[in-house]
Each structure stands twice: as structure tokens, then as C-alpha cells.
A and B are shown apart, each in its own frame.
Chain A
Amino acid sequence: MSRVLGLAFAAVLVASPLRGQDSLMLRLRNRADSLLSTWREAQRLADVADSLERVRATAGSDTIAVGALRIIANPSPLPLREAAARAWPAIDSLYGSAAEDLVQHPYIIRAVDPDSGVRRAVLHVGVELPWDLDMRATTRILLTTVTPPRFDIGLGDWLGATLRPTLRPGDEQTAVYLQLVTVPSEAVRGCFVGDIARCRDVLQLGDSTGLVGRWYVTPAEREALVSGVFGDYFARGGTAPSLQKCRQHDDDACTALLQSLPPGSLPRLLATAARLSLVREALRAGGRNAYSRLVAHPEASIDTRLASAATMDLDSLVARWRNGVLAARPVSLALPWWAGVAAMGWTAFFGFCALRSSRWRL
């Protein structure tokens, strides 16, 4: 009897915390559900507020349509139609057939008095532009604020920027050329001298395993990275001794420290311009539907998407990109011929002034 009582007592003792745990889980689940419903409610209210704000911002405005561009703006001297006419070909040539989707993403522009002292209502939708902007500046604003159609987070993360048209693609490629030549990295230099595999690595295309060794090829680069960029990060806690070893040229310690970093925290070897110019090259090669193909499968890897957009294999695309960059080499330092003529002309002019000096006149 006492054994039965003992067992029953033990069962009650074991069950009571389990019951308590069940009730805790239930409470937490209820709280999560409540938070979710509150968040949905807030989202609905935000949508209503956005909608009302949009109505308020566009009240009394005209719609300008150029190609698939739609600009909702209040009447003003701002040269929006002319600027849109200049911007549209650049936008259309980048996004191709996908540019038609821009109808769904109109610009909301409010032209305001350039005098900042004039009071005006605050709007939370669209952009405010002073009405005295010239066509060039207005065009630039349209190009730099266009919403890329169906642009996904994966592509944005890899690019490190939003893909928008540029008025000077040559400048972008020249900037990449300078990076290829001056970035202190053997991998980048390898790409510059024609190693396409290295180009793929520095552009972070394809397999991302062993990225530390492929991006930072030499022990000196790895040591410089750990000591410079991540010096403070590794100086505290358990990694401090490894940092010391790394600073004493222990490459294994440097490599281990870099491999312990969270994914995606290694600094990119080339700036955003390199990846942007590669995507532009893919879109150029792929024709009008290239952008649509690029954004068609956000779940696919970037190299697959680029190859699909360009309708060629990745190595050919990268080689084509590299050739384009090399062709955009900055102009030579040599003086233009007219500068030499001007210098000799000024020399003769000042010499003549000396001959005609008042000291020599009787």
C-alpha cells in the first residue's frame, strides 16, 4: 500500500513541473499569437496611412507618361517631361522588356519653392524637388530613384547596391579598372592579368567554400586583414592569443581567425562598381529579355542567374566583362598637343613682353 502511495506521490511530483511547462508554453504561444495579430493590425493601419498619404500627396497633381514611366507631379516649371524623355531610353535599355512594369511604380514628385524659408506641408510619400532644377539634374534624379522592376533581396545583397541605369557606364568601368590595378590583393591582380577563375572568385560567383584562401591568397594579406580590419574584433576574449600569434606572422592563426568569422563578414575585394558592371555586361549581352531572365528565379544562385540573363556560360561572361574593363583604361597622362602649343605660345608671348618692356623704350 505504501509502495502504491509512494508511486502516486512520485507521479504527482513529476507531473506538476510538466504541467507548469505546458502552461508556460501555452502562455508564450498566446503571447506570440497576440503579437502577430497586433503586428498585422499595425501593418493594416500603416497601409491605410500610406494610402491616405499617397492620396494627399497626389491631390491636384498631373500624370506625365513617357514610355512606361509615370510621374505624378504638381504643376511647376520643373522640366519633368523633357527629363523623362531623356531618362526613358537609359531605363528601357537596362531593364528591357521588364521596364514595362514601371507603370506600376510611378514617381511621386512634388515641386517646391527653392526658397527653403517658405513653409510647406510635410509629405511622407515621394520626393520633393525645387522647381528651379535644370533638365540635367532632373534627369539624374529620375535615373537614380527609379524602382528596379522585380528586384529581389538576393540580387541586391550580392550587388551591394540597387541596379539602376547610369549616364556614364564608361566611368564605372574605368573605376573598376583602377581597382583591378591598385587593390592590394593577389586574387584581384590575377583577375587583371587574365585568370578568369580568379575573376569569378573576386566577384563572389559560384562556390563560396574556402573563400578566405581564395580572396586573401598570401599570408601577408591574411595577416593585414586580421590586424587591420578585424584587429579590435579579435583583441578581446578568447581570440586575443590567436591575434597575437597572427601578428607574429603565424599564418595558421590568421587563417583560423578569419574562418571563425560569421559568413558574409569578409570585406569584399572589389567595390560595388565591379558587380554592377558585370550585371550590366550580362544585360547587354542578353538582349531585351535579359533583365526579365535575371529576376525570373530569385531562388537560383547568382552565377546561374547571370549566365541565364546573358545567355552564355559564366566564364565567357566574366571574360567579356574583363575585356570591357580593360578597354576602359583611363586616358594616358601625356599632354594633349594643344597644351604644348599653348605653352610655347605663352612662352613666346611673355618673351615678346620682355622685348617690349618700358625699360627699353626711349
Chain B
Amino acid sequence: MTAMFRAVLYTQWKWSRLIVVLGTLAAFAIPLLSLQGAARADRGAVQAQDLLRSVQSWGSLYPLLATALGLLMAIAAWAPDHRGRHIHALTLPLPRWEYVLLRFGAGFVLLAAPIAAVAIGALLASLTATIPPGLQAYPIALAVRFTFAVFVAYAVFFAVSAGTARTAGIILGVIAAIILVQVVAGIANIDLNVFGAAQTVFVLGPGPLAVFTGRWMLVDV
């Protein structure tokens, strides 16, 4: 089983190494760039607001990077199988669910590199920066949030990618139907807020996309 996992991991690495390397570099650079200038000796306490503004601006890149990594890794995990019409997978001496599980697990292992890069970059940035009194660095909290976001994004896109074109069509159809219902309700002046309900279900509380919201701040009060 271990040998099989290694083989799957190796093939997946070959298919997605460019994504992993670029993602890791970006993940390492964003925290450092977000605190650029904070390490300057002439930066006094009065620039706290500017620092927070800069950190907040850069903070929007973390969920974007997590989404992009999840999407590209999921596509890369399945693209060769889709191209080969899954013949190779069907010839393997293991149940299909195990094969999917190996692919799923291999993706997580490869995603550990950008996650570690965010953690190291954030720690390095907060150690080298001069942070004004009252503000604190949250490198670990940021890395944990990024980890969860990457995992959720990867799992969502992996599930969509593992499905057939018909499944993808159904998902897109449901999204289109929701938009259509909202537009028609708006035209007919009906008090119906489908987007609001969808937002409540998906983004707020324990929704699947809740981890992407909130404040992605390396430094905050």
C-alpha cells in the first residue's frame, strides 16, 4: 500500500510540480511582502495604521492563493486520468475507492509545501518586523487558517473534478438556476433573497466556505 501511495505521489508530483513550486514561492513571499517596510529602523509607532492597511491589502491574497492551489492541484490530479479515459486506473489491482483515496491523500501531501511556506514566511516576517506596541503578529493563526482553506478548496474541486461532465453540468445548472430565480424575483418585485440565503448556508457559521471569510491578517490588534 505504501509503495502504491509512493507511486501515486510521484506521478502526481510530476504532473503538478510547477503548481507546487510556484505556489510555494508565492506562499512564502506574501507574508514577507505584506510586512515590507515594517522592519525599517525609521518606522516609528505612528505608522501603525499604514502597516495595518498594507497587511489588510496583502491579506486578500491568501484566500485567493488557497483557492487557486486547491483548484489547480485537483485538476492536475485528474487531468491525465480523464485524458486516458481512466483505463490505467481500471487496470490497477485495487478497488477504485482506494485509488481515489490515494490520489486525494497525495494531493494533501503535495499541498503541505505551500502551507509550510506560508508558516515559515509568516514567522520570518513577524520576527524581522518592528511591530508597533498594541499590534501583534499572528503567524500561526494565519498558517492554520490557510491550511484549512487549502484543504477545503482542494476537496471541493477534487470532488467536482472526479465527477463526470454530467455532474459538473448539474452543479453549474443549479448555480445558474439560483441566479435566474433571483433575477426573476427582482424583476417581479418579489421579496426573495436567494443570494442572502445561499450566503448564510455557505459562507456564515460552519458553512463550507466560512474559512475563506474573516480577517486574513498577519498583524492585527
B68 CB-CB contact with A under 8 Å: no
Give the residues from 327 to 355 in chain A that come closer than 8 angstroms, CB to CB, to chain B. 329-330, 332-335, 338-340, 342-351, 353-355
| Interface-lining segment among B118-126, B140-148, B175-183, B189-197 | B140-148
Any chain B CB within 8 A of the CB of A181? yes
Total of A-B residue pairs, C-beta within 8 Å:
127
Q: Which residues of B contact A349 (CB under 8 A)?
A: 155
- Residues from chain B with a CB closer than 8 A to the CB of A186 are 44-46
Identify the stretch in B7-15, B18-26, B27-35, B131-139 within 8 Å (CB) of chain A at 4 or more residues: B131-139
User: B90 CB to closest chain A CB, in angstroms?
Assistant: 10
Candidates A193, A329, A333, A359; contact of B141 at CB < 8 Å: A333
Tell me if A185 is interfacial: C-beta within 8 Å of chain B.
yes
Instruction: Assess whether A335 is in contact with B141, with CB atoms less than 8 Å apart.
Output: yes
The B68-100 residues at the A interface (CB cut-off 8 A) are 86, 96-97, 100
CB <8 Å contact, A358 and B155: no
Residues of A within 8 A of B46 (CB): 184-186, 189, 218, 220-221
Report the bound CA distance from A310 to B197 in whole Å.
Answer: 49
Q: What's the dominant secondary structure at chain B's contact region? A: helix
- Indicate if the CB atoms of B100 and A350 lie closer than 8 Å: no
Which of B100, B152, B164, B221 has the most CB atoms of chain A within a 10 A radius of its CB? B221
B156 at the interface (CB under 8 A from A): yes
Question: A353 to B46, alpha carbons, bound, how many Å?
Answer: 51
A358 touching B163, Cβ below 8 Å: yes
Asked if A339 contacts B206 (CB within 8 A), the reply is yes
Which residues of A179-217 are within 8 A (CB) of B? 180-186, 189, 192-193
Known: A181-B221, A343-B148, A350-B155. A357 touches B164 (CB 8 A): yes
User: Are the CB atoms of A340 and B151 closer together than 8 Å?
Assistant: no
Residues of B in contact with A, size category? 35 or more
Residue picked from A180, A182, A193, A338, most chain B C-beta under 10 Å: A182
Closest residue on chain A to residue B90 by CB atoms: A360
**A337 nearest CB across to chain B (Å):** 11
A321 at the interface (CB under 8 A from B): no
Interface residues of A in 215-250 (CB under 8 A from B): 218, 220-221
A355 touches B49 (CB 8 A): no
Q: Report the minimum CB–CB distance from B69 to chain A (whole Å).
A: 14
The reply to whether the CB of B52 lies closer than 8 angstroms to some CB of chain A is yes
Which of A178, A189, A340, A360 has the most C-beta atoms of chain B within 10 angstroms of its own C-beta? Answer: A360
Instruction: Report B162 CB to chain A, min CB distance, Å.
Output: 4
Q: Which of B34-58 touch A at CB < 8 Å?
A: 44-50, 52
B221 & A347 in contact (Cβ 8 Å cutoff): no
Known A-B contacts A344-B148, A350-B155; the reply to A184 vs B48 at CB < 8 A is yes
* B141 CB contacts on chain A under 8 angstroms: 332-335
| A343 touching B221, Cβ below 8 Å | no
Bound complex: CA A55 to CA B47 (Å): 57
User: Once the chains are docked, how many angstroms separate the CA of A338 from the CA of B154?
Assistant: 20
User: B104 in the interface, Cβ–Cβ < 8 Å?
Assistant: yes
Nearest opposing residue in chain B for A185, CB measure: B46
C-alpha gap A193/B207 in the complex (Å): 40
* Size bin of chain A's contact surface: 35 or more
A177 at the interface (CB under 8 A from B): yes
B65 within 8 A of A: no
In the complex, whether B6 has a CB less than 8 A from a CB of chain A is no
B contact residues around A333 at 8 Å (CB): 138, 141-142, 214-215, 217, 220
Q: Name the CB-closest residue of A to B98.
A: A355
A181-B134, A329-B221, A344-B148 are known contacts. Are A359 and B49 too (CB-CB below 8 A)?
no
Q: How far is the CA of A193 from the CA of B132 in the complex (A)?
A: 11
Please determine whether B162 and A354 come into contact, CB atoms closer than 8 angstroms. yes
User: How far apart sit A101 and B188, CA to CA, in the bound complex (Å)?
Assistant: 53
Interface status of B186 (Cβ within 8 A of chain A): no
Cβ of B199 under 8 Å from chain A: no
Is B210 located at the chain interface by the 8 A CB criterion?
Answer: yes
CA distance A166 to B206 in the complex (A): 31
Report chain B residues within 8 Å CB of A193.
133
Residue of A nearest to B206 (CB): A342
Residues of B within 8 A of A347 (CB): 151-152, 154-155
Is B211 at the interface (CB under 8 A from chain A)? yes
Closest to A338 in B: B206
- A180 touching B134 in the complex, CB below 8 Å, given contacts A346-B152, A346-B155: yes
What sequence of 0s and 1s flags, for each residue 156-169 of chain B, a beta carbon within 8 Å of any chain A beta carbon? Answer: 10110011101100
- CB of A215 to closest CB in B, whole Å: 13
- B144 contacts A354, CB within 8 Å? no
Closest chain-B Cβ to A132's Cβ sits at a distance in Å of 15
Q: Which residue of B lies closest to A342 (CB)?
A: B206
Contact B48 A360, beta carbon cutoff 8 Å:
no
Residue of A nearest to B148 (CB): A343
Partner pick for B86 among A335, A342, A346, A359, CB 8 A cutoff: A359
4 smallest CB-CB distances across A and B, nearest first, come from A181-B134, A350-B155, A343-B148, A342-B206
Q: List 6 A-B contacts (CB under 8 A).
A: A184-B47, A333-B215, A344-B151, A349-B155, A350-B159, A360-B96
Q: CB within 8 Å of A: which residues of B?
A: 44-50, 52, 86, 96-97, 100-101, 104, 132-135, 138, 141-142, 144-145, 148-149, 151-152, 154-156, 158-159, 162-164, 166-167, 206-208, 210-211, 214-215, 217, 220-221
